[in-house]
Amino acid sequence: MAHQSWYRTYRPQRFDEVVGQSHIERTLRNAVDDDSVAHAYLFTGPRGTGKTTTARILAKALDCEKGPTGEPDDTCEDCRLIAEGRHPDVYELDAASRTGVDAVREEIISRVNYAPTRRTWKVYIIDEVHMLSTSAFNALLKTLEEPPLHTVFILCTTHPHKVPETIHSRCQRFDFHRLSVEDIVARLRYIADTEGVQVSDGALTLIAKHALGGMRDAITTLEQLASFTSGNIALSDVEGLLGEVDDDLLFEVADLVLQRDVAGAFRFVARLAEAGVDMTEFVKGMIQHFRDLFVISAVGDVGGAVDVTTEALVRLEAQAAAFGVQRLARVLDVLGRLAAELRWAADQRLTVEVALTRMARPETDLTLEGLAERIAELEAFGRLPQPVATPTPTPAAKAPAPESVTPVKRDESTSSPDAPTVVPVAAVAGGPLDPAAIKRAWPAVQAEFKKLKPSRSHLFDSTEVEVEGDVLVIEFPAGQDFSLQIARTPETMPLLKRSIAVVLRVDPPLELRLGRSGGSGPRPHAAVPSAEDTASPLTDETDSRPSVAGDDADITKLVMDELGAEVIVEHETES
């Protein structure tokens, strides 16, 4: 007996055997059982998704000896003849080879009025109906609209947009969906077990992905591989024959990018080159992998937007959470440029290596996206931990000042990856302050204060710091008396002390004063008032305020807005 292809041998013969089209199966089965079969159907969808197969099963349901029934027995002579394409009441026409109006007149119009020969229904299955000419469609139109009783037309096409709207309006349309990877893998596993083929789940997954949702393509590929390997299919055989990239390789390269392991990425590409992997196909696989990661990271797997197996989905979710949306968007941008560059690249391997370096190291990518990733990392590193309590100086003996600032060793077991190393300015609390270290750390203090109170962070924009003995002096520019008064309020001073304690890890006595004006000497020191001595508390609003760098009228208005009442400030006389 001549060999029959597997996709024909394992063609579904009943509604419940059709894979991945449950919405169509249920509708057609109920229509047959309820005696409400339409006179014309339009089956549309990608190749290999079951359009012609479902049309034949519907013909069986109508002409079965036990029918019409939603569950044809597939054992009677009528069902057998329909499966073999020899039933006299079921006409299958290939519109791709008979496109003209004469074929429609001869095959359909001239015969449609004759009564069925064996059973009670005549079924016309027109495959690739979009190939009919305009004249043929016009000739078919009237017959399709008002066919004789017990006549059903089933039109199948992969290009529904090429079918005239006049035909659409006379048919019930059913859209066949692409099959999921899991559905294809399950069917391939059944066929492999039946045929005695040894194949791993990973190889089946790769075959299913290569089929792009078409069952017939997947079954044909499985049969080809079974012949190539004599029934023992390995993952490497699938990769070599199809040029597809295994999921494990895609997860591996994504981990290398995630860990910023450039050396490992170069070794990985070298391994691909030695194995003879097509770099273009590899990049296509990477784009699909990172696209899935991006979708999961952004919105999750909504409505099957990520077509993978359940096991792969769990791994994707874990990897997507580690990347983050912004970084994945930049990686996809780099991959998009890489796919375009590979077409004209003299050395594809080098092009891939450079792109992986740019993905792993944002400092090597001078695009806006690369700079944005670097800024995001710096901002994450700058999030300082909040202290439990403000440390107070002890009257311990003064220790000698350190020669340089020494970073504090982080505890890897308790510290979070976002917490930066805090740099102290004295060896012990209460020790002598290092003026140079204080000046270097002052911008960090200002940044910490801005996080605590953004609306008043501008008060310290133009300030300078000095160290006089054990006292930390914050000097305001001459003429900023009102800024000085606001800084001394009980709502501002605790936040300032807290910022200093977080950054410097010490809590020295503070003194706020005005700086020099012109060529005169230093202004007299002004003692820092306590919270009890302050008369007017500030509101705790955090909305933005105008800058105090304007003239006196603007500064006066700012203070009036802050204090909610008239503030009288005595200007100190210059010495």
Q: Is the pLDDT of residue 370 over 70?
A: no
Q: Is the pLDDT of residue 342 over 50?
A: yes
Q: Is the pLDDT of residue 162 over 90?
A: yes
For residue 370, give the nearest of 330, 335, 343 by alpha carbon: 330
- Name the least confident of 195-199, 305-309, 320-324, 360-364: 360-364
Q: What's residue 254's pLDDT?
A: 93
* 4 confidence band (pLDDT: 50, 70, 90): confident
Q: What's residue 90's pLDDT?
A: 92
For residue 496, give the nearest of 460, 539, 533 by alpha carbon: 460
**CATH second-level architecture of 435-563?**
2-Layer Sandwich (3.30)
Is 83 in contact with 106 (CB distance < 8 Å)? no
Give SS3 for 573: coil
Q: What's residue 1's pLDDT?
A: 55
Which contacts qualify for 514-520: CB closer than 8 Å, 24 or more apart? 514/475, 514/476, 514/477, 514/478, 514/480, 514/481, 514/484, 514/572, 515/464, 515/475, 515/476, 515/477, 515/478, 516/478, 517/478, 517/479, 517/574, 518/478, 520/574, 520/575
Q: Is the pLDDT of residue 399 over 80?
A: no
Q: Is the pLDDT of residue 534 over 70?
A: no
Amino acid at the residue 541: E
Q: What's the whole-number mean pLDDT along residues 533-554?
A: 41
- 91 C-beta neighbours (distance < 10 Å), count: 17
Q: Where are the alpha helices (DSSP H) in 230-347?
A: 235-242, 247-258, 262-275, 279-298, 310-323, 325-341
Which contacts qualify for 340-344: CB closer than 8 Å, 24 or more apart? 342/279, 342/280, 342/283
Q: Is the pLDDT of residue 312 over 70?
A: yes
**Rounded to an integer, what distance in angstroms lies between the CA atom of residue 404 and that of residue 437?**
8
Classify domain 181-242 by CATH number.
Answer: 1.10.8.60
pLDDT winner (highest mean) among 32-46, 396-410, 481-495, 522-536: 32-46
Q: What's residue 522's pLDDT?
A: 43
Is 510 in contact with 433 (CB distance < 8 Å)? no
Residues of the chain with CATH 1.20.272.10: 247-380
Whether residue 116 has a cis bond before it, omega within 30° of 0: no
Question: Residue 73 corresponds to which tokens in the numbers above?
Answer: 């027995």
Q: What's residue 416's pLDDT?
A: 42
**Rounded to an integer, what distance in angstroms lies between the CA atom of residue 573 and that of residue 551?**
20
Q: What's residue 485's pLDDT?
A: 87
Q: What's residue 565's pLDDT?
A: 35
- CA triple 522-528-530, angle to 5 deg: 170
Q: What's residue 366's pLDDT?
A: 54
Q: What's residue 411's pLDDT?
A: 44
Cα distances (Å, whole numbers) of residue 370 to 126, 254, 302, 374: 55, 17, 29, 6
Q: What's residue 270's pLDDT?
A: 93
Put the strands of the sheet holding 151-157 in their side by side order. Answer: 90-94, 122-127, 151-157, 40-44, 172-175
- 281 C-beta neighbours (distance < 10 Å), count: 14
Q: What's the whole-number mean pLDDT along residues 140-148?
A: 89
| Residue-wise pLDDT tens digits, 424-451 | 444 334 457 788 888 888 898 888 888 8
For residue 171, give the nearest of 136, 124, 119, 133 by alpha carbon: 124
Q: What's residue 506's pLDDT?
A: 85
Dihedrals phi, psi of 41, to nearest 5 degrees: -125, 150
- CA triple 49-52-53, angle to 5 deg: 75
| Residue-wise pLDDT tens digits, 498-513 | 889 888 888 889 889 8
Q: Which CATH superfamily is domain 6-175 in?
A: P-loop containing nucleotide triphosphate hydrolases (3.40.50.300)
Q: What's the whole-number mean pLDDT along residues 518-534?
A: 42
| Residue-wise pLDDT tens digits, 225-261 | 998 888 888 888 888 788 777 888 899 999 999 998 9
93 strand-pairing partners: 126
For residue 257, give the nearest of 216, 290, 232 by alpha carbon: 290
Percent over 70 (pLDDT), the chain: 76
Q: What's the whole-number mean pLDDT along residues 267-274?
A: 91
Residues of the chain with CATH 1.10.8.60: 181-242
Q: What's residue 290's pLDDT?
A: 92
- Name the least confident of 79-88, 155-164, 390-399: 390-399
**Rounded to an integer, what distance in angstroms lies between the CA atom of residue 88 and that of residue 111?**
12
pTM assigned to the model: 0.56
State CA 540 to chain mean position distance: 40
Class of residue 329 by CB neighbours under 10 A (exposed 0-12, middle 13-18, buried 19+):
middle
Is 475 in contact with 515 (CB distance < 8 Å)? yes
- Name the least confident of 139-143, 372-376, 491-495: 372-376
Q: Is the pLDDT of residue 164 over 90?
A: yes
* 172 confidence band (pLDDT: 50, 70, 90): very high
Residues of the chain with CATH 3.40.50.300: 6-175
**Rounded to an integer, what distance in angstroms lies between the CA atom of residue 1 and that of residue 218?**
25
User: Which residues contact residue 482 at a Cβ distance below 8 angstroms, ignoring those fewer than 6 apart?
Assistant: 548, 555, 556, 558, 559, 567, 569
Element containing residue 376 per DSSP (H, E) = helix 368-381
How much helix, strand and coil, in percent to the nearest 5, is found in the chain? Answer: 50, 10, 45
* 355 confidence band (pLDDT: 50, 70, 90): very high
Q: Is the pLDDT of residue 302 over 70?
A: no
Q: What's residue 156's pLDDT?
A: 95
Q: What's residue 251's pLDDT?
A: 92
Q: What's residue 364's pLDDT?
A: 57
User: Which residues contact residue 389 at a Cβ distance below 8 angstroms, ignoring those fewer than 6 apart?
Assistant: none
> CB-hemisphere CA count at 13 Å for 89?
21
Please say whether the structural domain 247-380 has been given the CATH code 1.10.760.10. no
For residue 402, give the nearest of 379, 426, 376, 370 by alpha carbon: 426
How high does pLDDT run on average in the chain? 79
Class of residue 2 by CB neighbours under 10 A (exposed 0-12, middle 13-18, buried 19+):
exposed
Class of residue 508 by CB neighbours under 10 A (exposed 0-12, middle 13-18, buried 19+):
buried
Residues of the chain with CATH 3.30.300.180: 435-563
Helix axes 262-275, 348-360, angle to 10 degrees: 150
Q: Is the pLDDT of residue 318 over 70?
A: yes
Element containing residue 143 per DSSP (H, E) = helix 134-145
For residue 191, give the nearest of 238, 239, 224 by alpha carbon: 224
Q: Which residue's entry shows tokens 């005005």?
A: 514
Maximum alpha-carbon separation in the chain: 122
* 376 confidence band (pLDDT: 50, 70, 90): low
Cα distances (Å, whole numbers) of residue 91 to 138, 286, 350: 20, 46, 58
